[in-house]
Structure 1
Amino acid sequence: MTAYIVFTMFFSGGLIPTYLLVKNLGMINTMWALIIPGAVSVWNIIIMRTFFQTSIPNEIQESASIDGCSNLQTLWKIVIPLSMPVIAVMILFYGVGHWNAYFNGLIYLNDRDKYPLQLFLREILIKSEVDNMAGSMDLSVQNHLMETEAIKYAIVIVANLPVLMLYPFLQKYFTKGFMVGAIKG
């Protein structure tokens, strides 16, 4: 089963088949075109599988079964509470991945009102680069360039602020979950 999953990581359909699939599903110009194609990452599945195999002993699951827990009760009462480190890491990976993604929005969205923040940031960065190349060196143009640079840096800080605010809450889980599968001495 792992070989089939890993095969899709190395040999994906590509940009054009993915675009045609999203178009045929009627997701062009919707938020679902940004969410669903990147909803599951094979690498993250491998990290979670490794965590489950190495960190949750089978004896705990067997004792829950002997005590009368069903598979669903074992999942909710034992496996998920013990899996908080890897769940926190996955939340952080997916959150940062979707927050920083601009390419899917560039490909799948036509309506400017539905653009994610990163596309607006991209437009501002491109516009400031064009202004820098086109401007002459008189004092008013230099002041304008300094203002656009300040706005550009402020927008970069504002765009990264939510992720920076999320990280301290997940930090204690991050080290535990990220080191899954590492060599332990």
Structure 2
Amino acid sequence: MTVRDLTRDTWSDFERVLGTNGGARGCWCMHWRLSIAEWMDGKGEGNKKAMKKLAGKKPAPGVVIYRDSTPVAWCSLGPREAFPRLERSPLLKGIDSEPVCAIACIFVHRQYRGAGLLPSILEAVCDYASARRYEVAEGYPIEPRAGRRAGADTAMTGIASAFVEAGFEEVARPRKDRPIMRRVLR
């Protein structure tokens, strides 16, 4: 797995991963960056334009993940404060003042879901974050009930078992199905 910043040059690969619907329900990975009202107002094309604007700035709002040369996933990441809705979330609020690289969203192209790629994707994302001098990566996965699969809109933050396989440890559990997990990068 390799990763590349989301830029204007990788935009078409990002679109390919998210599909015509922009991920789940026209999100275009703006869920954690906007208030719910702003997100609803921009649902679809508005959110797409907002993300395209972010793709033209530095630091990149996230990375496209490739298996060989094929784009297979997207990961939105950066400092927690880059995600205002995450910061305001009563469920996923910060647990301490540790500066972390928040892994806010992981979206796997539908063709590659269920293929066991998520731990490798997380490894590549952690390598990327470490190279950018982050010391800790933090994720907010879900833990589906036994025997159930999570849908794309609920699994957007990842699956807990994949985080464990990628070396993350649970540091908090604000709800039965929502652990907060960290991995020390340095």
Larger Rg, first or second structure (1 or 2): 1
The TM-score with structure 2 as length reference comes to: 0.26
Which protein has the bigger helix share?
A: 1
Higher relative contact order (CA 8 A, sep 6+): 1
The TM-score with structure 1 as length reference comes to: 0.26
Which protein has the bigger strand share?
A: 2
